[in-house]
Structure 1
Amino acid sequence: MKRRLPVEDIVKRSVPFAGLYDSGGFVEKGRIGVPKGLVLTLKARQERQNNGELQLYYRVHPGEMPKYMELTDFFPEGRSPNFARYRRVYDLDERCRILIPPDDWRKVGIEEHMPVIFWGSGNKIFIYKPDDYETYRNTSYLSLDAVTNLAVRVKERFTLPPVK
């Protein structure tokens, strides 16, 4: 018998974050402003289950072409973040800034005060350097890099056991 997903999980999986946001980059020891619209969307999605506390996770993708960082708040029911790959984002302040250690964003070529692009897709928010975002946008879905990146993601998804 096929298990049905709760409506909330279907919405979180299917309703994308909207928008493309240009940001002033990382400042003050790793703080970066997250677009207020995204923070409000995240808070609304998590209001019931987390008592208003925003739970957000990030992952660095230095081996992808182009390189990027990923933010997410959604893991399907019964699965938790794999902390070997995802780290918790802490310290969301009143100015919608989060803290990510400089060593992590430097792995994807981002430097202090460098503008970055936030791009929402599905249940994830991707953070790119502007040049890397343009590379991503201009990459054909059938290019060797795109196929290789997809193969790596599929392999990770189906070979890594869920963390308990």
Structure 2
Amino acid sequence: MSTRHTRYNKEIDVLHEISYLLGRAKSNSDMYRIAVEQSIKNLNIDRIAIFLITGPDSVQGTYGTDIEGNVVDESWFTSTIEEHVFASKMIQERTFISFQHHTSLLHNFANVGMGWNGYVTLWDGNEAIGWIACDNLLTSLPLKPSQVNILKMLGFIVSPKYC
């Protein structure tokens, strides 16, 4: 078995474990925390956050990663969807996953570095319910093709759990 195939199987096993843990979460809040913790710990994602659409033009944070890599409760964070230009465009164009390279990395709308960032939109049928945001602030490592697929699958796992 090739190294690439072995690594892919390991990533699938990790996603299965994350799905199992999310299914056993006691609350939505617990589920978001677990998704963020497991993504950082087992999917080699530097920073990740989950945002939920709470109204026609409003979004609220759940859990995410601060600029030092700590998992933090971000349920206090609210803003308009339009303030998140990249995510807003993805939702309007019904794009499921997209990345920006060599871009400003933000934390609470403040520039904290440069690198890649990605968004995975979360859907309930045809309705956008939120998104996962991630970046490489801590390590500055390039985005790997396997990370794109893993994040895509993570979006599919998190979306139905929200509903």
TM-score normalized with structure 2 length: 0.28
Larger strand percent: 2
Larger helix percent: 2
Higher relative contact order (CA 8 A, sep 6+): 1
Q: Which has the larger radius of gyration?
A: 1
